[in-house]
Amino acid sequence: MRFFLKKTASIFWFRQDLRLNDNPGLIEAVKHGSIIPIYILDDKNSKEHKMGAASRLWLHYSLTQLNEQLGSPLIIAKGEPEEILTNICTQEVISKVFWNRVYEPWCIKRDKRIKENLTKQNIEVKSFNSSLLWEPWDVLKGDGTPYKVFTPYFRRGCLSAPFPRRPLSKPEKIIFYKTDNLIKSSINDLNLLPNHKWKDKLLVNWKIGEKEAISRLTEFIDFELDDYKEGRNFPTKKNVSRLSPYLHWGEISPNTVWYAVKDRMDLGIGNTKDSDHFLSEIGWREFSYTLLFYFPELPKENLQKRFNKFPWKFDEKKLLAWKKGMTGYPIVDAGMRELWSTGYMHNRLRMIVGSFLVKNLLIHWHEGEKWFWDCLLDADLANNSASWQWIAGCGADAAPYFRIFNPITQGLKFDSEGVYIRKFIPEIANLPNKYIFNPWEAPKDVLEKANVRLGENYPNPIIDLKSSREEALLAFSKLKTLEI
C-alpha cells in the first residue's frame, strides 16, 4: 500500500465494519481513486446508547489492528461526524463519501441527516450493506409488514428470499490520499480503555481483529461445529463459536460465516442438523435487526404494551447482588462472574441469569439490559434488547411468561458435574456435587468440610425460589386479562 496525492479522493468512513475482506463500501470507495479512511467516535448522537465500557475496550484494539492492516493511515477523530466529514471534504476538495450502513435507530437518524446535508453541498454519499445477510426491508410478509415471529421469518422469509451476497475479496490495492492537513489524533486520544485492572482480565480471553475473527471461524468449523445443536446448551463444552464480538464490530461479515458453513454442508461435510441449527442462530441475529429497524423503541419500550402495567420491583441491594454474582444461587452467580471476568457469557447462562432477574427478583429487564450493555464485549443494541424482551416475555416472539428457569434444575441439566460453577465460584469448589447447586441445603458438617461459611464467604440465597416464582406467575397472569 502506498501513499500519494490524487485529486479524485474519497472518504471511507469505518463504523461497525472494521475489516478489509467482504467490505462492500470500502471496495467501492477504492474503485474511485485514493481514499481517506476515517473512524469517528460519536458519543454525542448516541446519547443513551453510548458504547459501554467493554465495547470501548474492544474497539480500542480493533482499531489498532485495522490501522496496522492498512499500514497506519487511519484518521481517528472524535465528535460530530457531520462537521468532521464536511470539514475534510471542503478542505481537501473531496466529493465522495462512502460508508456501510449501521441499523441502530440513532445512527439511521444521524446518517440520513448527514447524507442530506452533504448532498446539498454536492458531495456524493453512497452507503452499502456489510453487516446483514438480508436487510430489514428484504424479508417481509406477503402484506408488506415485518415478521414478528422467528420461525416463519427465517423459514418462510429468509430461506425463500434471494441468496445473500457471496463474500467479496479485499481490495487488491488501496491508495491513500496524502495531505498534512488532516486531523492528527491517535487511537489513544479516544480514551477508550478503562483505567482499572478489569481490562487485563478480559484481554486474557480474547484476541481481537479481523485475522483473529477468521481463525476463530475456521477453528470453530473444523473442530467445534459438529455437535453444535446439543453442545451449545452446555457452558463447558466447546461447541459455540464465540464469534459475537467479531460479528458486532464487523471484523467478520455474516456472509463469510454463512457461506463457510453452507459450502461445507453442500459438500456433504459435517452433520446437517448442527450446521442448520448454527445458521438458524445467525438467523436470530438477522431477526433482532429486523425488529430493531421496524420497532426502533425496542431498547426502551415493551413491545407488548400490556407489560407497561407490570408491577416491577426496584431493589438496589438485590440488583447489586445479581450484578456481582452474589445471589446465593451458584449457577446464576457463576454466569454473572463469567460476564464480569471475561466480557462474555454463554447463551444458556444469559437465559438463566436473565430469567432470575426479571422473574424471581421481579426487577425490570432494563436493568439487565443496561448491565449487559456495559459489560459484554459483544454488546449489540439489536441482539441485547431483543433478547431481554424475549426473556421478560414482553417481546415480539418472546418466551412465554410462565417459562421461569429454575436455577437448580438448569444447573443439574447443563452443568451436572458443577465444573462451570467451580470455575467461577472457587469459594464453594470443595462442596460435593450433591450440594453444588444448592449449598444452603447442605448439612453443617458438609459445609464445614468444604470450608463454606454461608453468609460469610458465600451468601445465603437472596430470595426464596418457590414464593418468588409464585409471585411472578400471579403478576404475569394478571397481565393476560389486560387489553393491549
Ligand X SMILES: Cc1cc2nc3c(=O)[nH]c(=O)nc-3n(C[C@H](O)[C@H](O)[C@H](O)COP(=O)(O)OP(=O)(O)OC[C@H]3O[C@@H](n4cnc5c(N)ncnc54)[C@H](O)[C@@H]3O)c2cc1C
Catalytic residue among 92, 117, 212, 312: 312
Smallest gap from Cβ 251 to ligand X, in A, equals 12
Choose, from 58, 99, 249, 284, the residue flagged as catalytic: 284
What three-state secondary structure class fits 273?
helix
For ligand X, the closer CB: 32 or 165: 165
Comparing CA positions, the residue from 110, 116, 140 lying closest to residue 49 is 110
Q: CB of 184 within 8 A of CB of 224?
A: no
Catalytic residue flag (residue 312): yes
Residue closer to ligand X (CB basis): 22 or 28: 22
Nearest distance from C-beta of residue 379 to ligand X, angstroms:
5
* Residue ranges with strand state E in 219-293: none
Sequence-distant (6+) residues with CB within 8 A of 240 are 224, 228, 231, 232, 346, 347
Please state the closest distance from residue 421 (CB atom) to ligand X, in A: 19
Of 74 and 375, which has the nearer Cβ to ligand X?
375
Cβ 365 to ligand X shortest distance, Å: 8
Annotated active-site residue 388? The verdict is yes
Give the nearer residue to ligand X in terms of CB position, either 80 or 138: 138
Smallest gap from Cβ 405 to ligand X, in A, equals 11
Q: Is there a catalytic annotation at residue 206? A: no
Q: Which of 365, 371, 373, 390 is catalytic?
A: 365
Which C-beta is closer to ligand X: that of 93 or that of 204?
A: 204
Residue 200 CB neighbour total at 10 angstroms: 8
| Side chain identity at residue 194, one-letter code | P
Q: Which residues pair with 374 in a beta bridge?
A: none
Which lies closer to ligand X via its Cβ, residue 164 or residue 354? 354
Please give the torsion angle defined by the CA atoms of residues 38, 39, 40 and 43, in that order, rounded to the nearest 10 degrees. Answer: 170
Of 68, 83, 124, 281, the catalytic one is 281
Set 87, 117, 271, 347: catalytic member: 347
Q: Which residues pair with 185 in a beta bridge?
A: 76
Smallest distance from ligand X to CB 403, Å: 12
* Residue of 432, 238, 426 whose CA lies nearest to 334: 426
Q: How many helices (H) and strands (E) does the chain have?
A: 21, 7
Query: In one letter, which amino acid is 106?
Result: W
- Least Å distance, CB 24 to ligand X, is 19
What distance, in Å, lies between the first and last C-alpha atoms of the chain?
Answer: 59
Residue 388 has which C-alpha cell? 431481554
Residue 9 vs 357, nearer CB to ligand X: 357
Query: Going by DSSP bridges, is the β-strand pair 124-128/35-41 parallel, antiparallel, or unpaired?
Result: unpaired
Active-site residue 249, yes or no?
no
Pairwise CA distance, residues 466 & 460, whole Å: 15
| b/e 325-361 (16+ beta carbons within 10 angstroms → b) | bbbbbbbbbbbbbbbbbbbbbbebbbbbbbbbbbbbb
Rounded distance between C-alpha atoms, residue 407 and residue 147, angstroms: 32
- Residue among 78, 77, 76, 111 at smallest CA distance from 97: 111
Q: How many CB atoms lie under 10 A from the CB of residue 404?
A: 21
386 vs 479, beta carbon nearer ligand X: 386
Q: Is 99 a residue of the active site? A: no
| Alpha-carbon span 252 to 379, nearest angstrom | 16
Q: How far is the CB of 202 from ligand X (least distance, A)?
A: 15
Q: How many CA atoms lie within 13 A of 366 on its CB side?
A: 14
Q: Which residues contact 447 (CB under 8 A, 6 or more apart)?
A: 431, 439, 453, 454
Binding site for ligand X (CB under 6 A): 232, 240-244, 247-248, 281-282, 284-285, 288, 347, 350-351, 354, 372, 376, 378-380, 383-384, 387-388, 391
Q: Which is nearer to ligand X, 77 or 358 (CB)?
A: 358
Residue of 249, 258, 373, 388 with catalytic role: 388
Residues in the chain: 484
Residue 391: CB minimum distance to ligand X, A: 5
Instruction: Enumerate the active-site residues.
Output: 281, 284, 312, 347, 365, 388
